[in-house]
Amino acid sequence: MINKHKLSHTLNRMFSLHPKLIDFDLSRLKLLMKKFNNPQNRLQNVIHIAGTNGKGSTASFLKEILEYHKLSVNLYTSPHLINFNERIKINNKFISDETLIKILEEVEKKNANNPITFFEITTAAAIIAFQRQPSDVNIFETGLGGRLDATNIIENKKLTIITKIGFDHIEFLGEKIEEIAREKAGIFRKNTPVIIAKQKNVKARQTLLECAKHLKN
């Protein structure tokens, strides 16, 4: 209980580091990760998932399939249901309070009171945890969008996945389905396979395919 109490206080401090809950700008996180010698660049076999619906379930299905085949998996998802630790799974176990507190305090110290959003700083914690406790596969679910989502600081990916695209967070991603799809497609990387789920919206599907084709050229 002492650790849960301390973790709650630590997470509350993270909330106070930026006046906005959402502020798309990867420069803050890139600067912070540089102070840790860019651990995101040392992660192996990263699977990155974006979309409007089905991200979390797709991540969970993949984890179960990979573990069935005797592979170890680290998993970062959001939001959580009860405890924040649910967001960060290391080899099929929630990150411990002790490990999470230690990493968050390290991140807080390195950040040196610079403005940074809660999701950015907790994504940094997940990346550091995964780098320190390596697994065969690392799965990341985007929080919101894709192109400017904190998880997209990872450049080296084994696979990218787009689930069903719909109208979500139009104030951040755009009012047209093509704009939203383009933001989600921001997780694509050149020479990296992408799986696109069946799309009910034809314009969303066309936009995703165009984005993928553009990277191939």
Q: Residue 80: pLDDT band by 50, 70, 90 thresholds? A: confident
pLDDT tens-digit map of 172-208: 677 799 999 999 999 999 999 999 999 999 999 999 9
67 pLDDT more than 90: yes
Task: Give the phi and the psi of residue 38 in degrees, each rounded to 5.
Answer: 50, 65
pLDDT score, position 7: 81
- Residue 20 banded pLDDT, cuts 50, 70, 90: low
Which domain CATH number covers 6?
A: 3.40.1190.10
- For the segment 54-71, the average pLDDT, to the nearest whole number, is 96
Residue 3: which residues within 8 A CB-CB, separation 6 or more?
97, 98, 101
0.95 exceeded by the pTM?
Answer: no
Is residue 164's pLDDT more than 90?
A: yes
Tally of domains within the chain? 1
* pLDDT at residue number 125: 96
pLDDT digits over 135-149, tens only? 999 999 999 889 999
Q: Taking residues 45-59, what's their average pLDDT?
A: 96
- Confidence grade of residue 82 (pLDDT, cut at 50, 70, 90): confident
Range of the structural domain that residue 144 is part of: 2-216
Q: Which two tokens stand for residue 113?
A: 């009171």
What is the phi-psi region of residue 41: left when phi exceeds 0, alpha when psi lies from -120 to 50, beta otherwise?
A: alpha
- Contact between 142 and 34 (Cβ < 8 Å): no
Share of the chain above pLDDT 70, in %: 92
